[in-house]
Chain A
């Protein structure tokens, strides 16, 4: 995984080479911002999360592992943790009422009135994070697993479970005259 050049950059970044770090970081800023925006829903908050990611990345550059061949999962894990902390401080931490979420998500009321966007918004944070990493950022399951700190098998089974849960909200409603 990772070319010889990239491993050289990773080693350089780990040793404190500013140019190497910048070269590795720059292409990851846009996907990191996209992820943060999806998780937080606010431009300023997403920008702050990405800035924090860059600062922490540089500060903890000693933890870079060149043998992994890429910095992407490490950076995205930092930004997802930032988003999680921001959400805890913000208003939109989710509190659901009535039925437990499992039933509520596929309930008749919600299924008929929520579109996919709302259904995504109601998923637990970790499930939305998983979907975004896999479907939007198009990360391979191995990298998704690194970002989430779980096994590849767990990523696959969680993906299956979450997408299965979403389907009832997506199927077109058959109208009977």
Chain B
């Protein structure tokens, strides 16, 4: 089977690549496009380290074929900061030490951003539920949850 040419948009930028049909989007991002910010933790959708947005929806890139990206918009961690300016979530995670080894962090940030975009005023339980698909073996989650709650409050204030 010949390689397939895919034209897609990643973090707002048009991009194209050649891939095999059996390649995952995660693999294409990391190996074809050099966007290694998205991580592979399990390859089977259980850990969330590979979280991206696909047309604005949070999803696991390890279970999407690269060819499915054709004509769609992909959002990765590399697009979260605006140039030199960190997203409020990124800044808050730093301030509140909501990360340790950092491998789950890109996925958690993408998931948290998606959560807040849908629900700008979540309860703590809603945050925990919304991030249930992102496993972390280091932090015990507490600081992550607090960072998301505080960012939500900050963003609501900025918006008002």
Q: Do A and B truly interact?
A: no
Q: Which A positions have Cβ atoms within 8 angstroms of B? A: none
